[in-house]
Structure 1
Amino acid sequence: MARTKIRGGKALKFISWNIDSLNAALTGNSARALLSQGVLNTIIEHNPEIIAIQETKLSSNGPTKKHVEILGELFPDYEVVWNSSVEPARKGYAGTMFLYKNHLTPSVTFPKNGAPGTMDAEGRMITLEFDHFYLTQVYTPNAGDGLKRLEDRQIWDIKYADYLASLDKEKPVIATGDFNVAHKEIDLAHPENNRRSAGFTDEERQGFTNLLAKGFTDTFRYIHGDVAGIYSWWAQRVKTSKINNSGWRIDYWLVSDRIADKVLKSEMIDSGSRQDHTPLLFEIDL
């Protein structure tokens, strides 16, 4: 697939969102599905060049004919690429998708990390290559209940950091997604209660520190400093988590250090009363 230059002199606007089931958001009629559809409408209003979506939970065949029709109605000016979980991994699990404006023609790859278990078969990464930068998204594996996947997660973190560093040797990198880790105590409401919770173990936090040390910037912290109380995820199983803002910041926009000064915005988009993840808005002038 040919690459293209993105129009010069124009700030680029991207949005990333862990949607927690694309099918539910597109075809559901439950109260939660309606909230998800409201968030999709908000994303449409922002009119970003590119949308990164995690946890699509699509079948191994990807979006159905119905899904494609609805996406075409909602996002008529966008191309769609997807990466779904395939055997031997669980069906209808994880998965990622990019929607990008159809004037763009990036090279698209679906990287594998050589990660343990079925992680490489779970549709967790997509990379778009443009003339002057890479845009890659990830849905990082969760360490799981009882931290049963923590050792595998640690290996994933090492391999993912090496992958981003390999891209960075060629051209600047913009990386986004659900990284499933709150990096510092300031990144979650109750650090004292979550020392050995998935997403806030010392091991996962160190993995993220090691990633940044390879030459990457957490753009939210770059723009906002040590502001507290701003999160990207609130647990669904706790009904009052969002009302009480008992959240975690586990979704990120990262960039190569050398383009951090080009970042204009890195912030959360208000998703109203919908719990779980909220979308992240990112703007950069390259």
Structure 2
Amino acid sequence: MKLISWNIDSLNAALTSDSPRAQLSRDVIDTLVAQDADIIAIQETKLSAKGPTKKHLDILHDFFPSFNVAWRSSIEPARKGYAGTMFLYKNSLPAPAISYPEIGAPSTMDCEGRIITLEFEDFFVTQVYTPNAGDGLKRLNDRQIWDECYANYLAELDRQKPVLATGDYNVAHEEIDLANPSSNRRSPGFTDEERQGFTNLLAKGFTDTFRYLHGNVPNVYSWWAQRSKTSKINNTGWRIDYWLTSERIANKITKSDMIDSGTRQDHTPIVLEIDL
């Protein structure tokens, strides 16, 4: 089975805009089409509470004609057009049960469309768009509560059957996971608190599939800041997007890697291949 995850940073812009960046995004979508994955997880869709429009769905069908769509958007009292997630999954797969869990997170986090879970007969596939700690770490306390609630949620799934979990986790776990650790000690995504939250998640019985296959290979990242025009050229990136699996199926992983997104900065897609 092949699975892909990507923070798209606005599905509407990627599908309907004529901007140069939108064209780069559509080039990435073309790359995903060629990958012929079974399941594609998309984060930060930034759609309205009503979800994708008919135009969005028609364009997605043109790209992915044999896929079903499941989506979740931010709803009040959370911000409009914020966060959001989507699954595309082949209609040849056994129809999964789809859930949109709320995990007891603080503030409006449970209303921000951050988690979708597909339940198949023998395993779960779940995706997350983890809340950012925010400028000035103003959301760090809430983020710590989120991390604990999310880890407990994954552990509950794992008690039922094996789990494949993916998404933008908004944390570089170890120093090797970003280009400049020393200058980012209190930056959102690399605080001690967020890193410990990810350590605690893995300790509940989950495997970082990229590190499982590649060990301590350096300089491999999944995100480059748009604000810096040279971040991707200079590879001053962060690895904040992950495929995790239940430890007991880690030996079935055959591939976990980044997919080349060309010159487009921000997130690059990540791929998992696993023999289930």
Q: Which residue of 1 aligns with 2:252?
A: 262
Q: Which residue of 1 aligns with 2:117?
A: 127
Is 1:56 the equivalent of 2:48?
no
- Partner SS state of residue 243, structure 1: coil
Deviation at 1:146, TM superposition (A): 0.2
Amino acid at match of 1:85: S
In 2, Cα distance between equivalents of 1:112 and 1:285 = 30
In 1, Cα distance between equivalents of 2:199 and 2:175 = 13
Structure-to-structure mapping, 1:108-123, within 5 angstroms? 108-123=98-113
In 1, Cα distance between equivalents of 2:197 and 2:11 = 29
Pick the aligned partner of 1:141 from 131, 138, 141.
131
Pick the aligned partner of 2:58 from 50, 63, 69.
69
In 2, Cα distance between equivalents of 1:141 and 1:250 = 12
Q: Which residue of 2 aligns with 1:171?
A: 161
- Partner SS state of residue 247, structure 1: coil
Deviation at 1:223, TM superposition (A): 0.5
Is 1:92 the equivalent of 2:81?
yes
TM-score scaled by structure 1?
A: 0.96
Q: Which residue of 2 aligns with 1:196?
A: 186
Structure-to-structure mapping, 1:232-251, within 5 angstroms? 232-251=222-241
Instruction: Output one character per residue of 1:32-77: Cα deviation in whole Å (capped at 9) or x when no partner.
Output: 0000000000000001000000000000000011101101111100
In 2, Cα distance between equivalents of 1:263 and 1:250 = 20
In 2, Cα distance between equivalents of 1:58 and 1:163 = 25
Q: Which residue of 2 aligns with 1:284?
A: 274
Instruction: Output one character per residue of 1:183-222: Cα deviation in whole Å (capped at 9) or x when no partner.
Output: 0000000000000000000000000000000000000000
Q: Which residue of 2 aligns with 1:36?
A: 25
Amino acid at match of 1:73: D
- Partner SS state of residue 101, structure 2: coil
- Aligned CA RMSD, in angstroms, stands at 0.4
Deviation at 1:103, TM superposition (A): 1.6
Instruction: Output one character per residue of 1:116-149: Cα deviation in whole Å (capped at 9) or x when no partner.
Output: 0000000000000001100000000000000000
Structure-to-structure mapping, 1:216-227, within 5 angstroms? 216-227=206-217
Amino acid at match of 2:96: P
TM-score scaled by structure 2?
A: 0.99
* Percentage of identical aligned residues: 72
Amino acid at match of 2:252: K
Deviation at 1:226, TM superposition (A): 0.1
- Partner SS state of residue 114, structure 1: coil
Deviation at 1:157, TM superposition (A): 0.1
Pick the aligned partner of 1:46 from 17, 35, 43.
35
Structure 1 outlier segments of 4+, above 2 Å: none
In 2, Cα distance between equivalents of 1:145 and 1:199 = 11
Q: Which residue of 2 aligns with 1:8?
A: none
Is 1:25 the equivalent of 2:17?
no
In 2, Cα distance between equivalents of 1:175 and 1:199 = 19
In 2, Cα distance between equivalents of 1:238 and 1:217 = 32
Amino acid at match of 2:152: D
In 2, Cα distance between equivalents of 1:76 and 1:192 = 46
Pick the aligned partner of 1:15 from 4, 14, 28.
4
Is 1:275 the equivalent of 2:261?
no
Deviation at 1:252, TM superposition (A): 0.0
Pick the aligned partner of 1:181 from 159, 171, 192.
171
Runs of at least 5 residues in structure 1 that lack an aligned partner in the other structure: 1-11
Deviation at 1:232, TM superposition (A): 0.1
